[in-house]
Amino acid sequence: MVIKLMQKALITVSLIGIICVSLNAQSKHSLFAIEGGTSNLRAETNVGGYNIQKSNMGHFGLKLGAESEKYRVFFSARNFIAEPNNKLLTAGVEAQYKLNFSKSVNFFIGVNGGSAYIEVGPDGVNPGLDVTTPYFGGDFGLNYHASELIDVELGAKYMLIDSTITQGTTIYDFRDLTSFYGSIIFKWRVD
């Protein structure tokens, strides 16, 4: 299972690399974005029996990137507001294809990949544990051009995490993360 996950992550990173090289040749704008949203982490907990649970949490993040007429690439970092004593942080790359159907709005669809840091705090008996694991997934949404220098983005993102942490007799099996978010994107010309 780990080999398959690594293969999928390698394919995702390769595709992102190809798009970055293509984008670099025709870059139009540099981008900086502030993002906020709500996320749903799906995990399975085993304490003498399986219990699938979903944790709803808010998140905020920063993105730095570039765009051309049809492509956009971001380096991103997000902090998910998890339960007390727990952490979820992600850092990665997003590559998106833009469908420009009007001058003021475009639709985008893309892939993402990177690294997720998950920390489970102490439970009173056992010490806290952490794991860093790769993730990959996809995203889509709408981008509204509020002005020449500002875009407003609404989107959805899926990240397959697939990682396990064992804390004493409790096993946490993290599956995936689904996010709905909004971003304000600041643009400036690249010369």
Tens digit of pLDDT per residue, the chain (191 long)? 445 555 555 555 555 555 554 555 566 888 999 999 999 988 887 776 667 676 889 999 999 998 988 889 999 999 998 877 788 999 999 999 999 889 899 999 999 999 999 888 776 777 788 888 999 999 999 999 999 899 999 999 999 998 888 877 778 888 899 999 999 999 988 66
Q: What is the pTM of this model?
A: 0.81
CB 150 within 8 A of CB 120: no
CB-based contacts of 87, cutoff 8 Å, min separation 6: 80, 117, 118, 119, 130
The fold for domain 2-189 equals Porin (2.40.160)
The structural domains of the chain, with segments of one domain joined by +, span 2-189
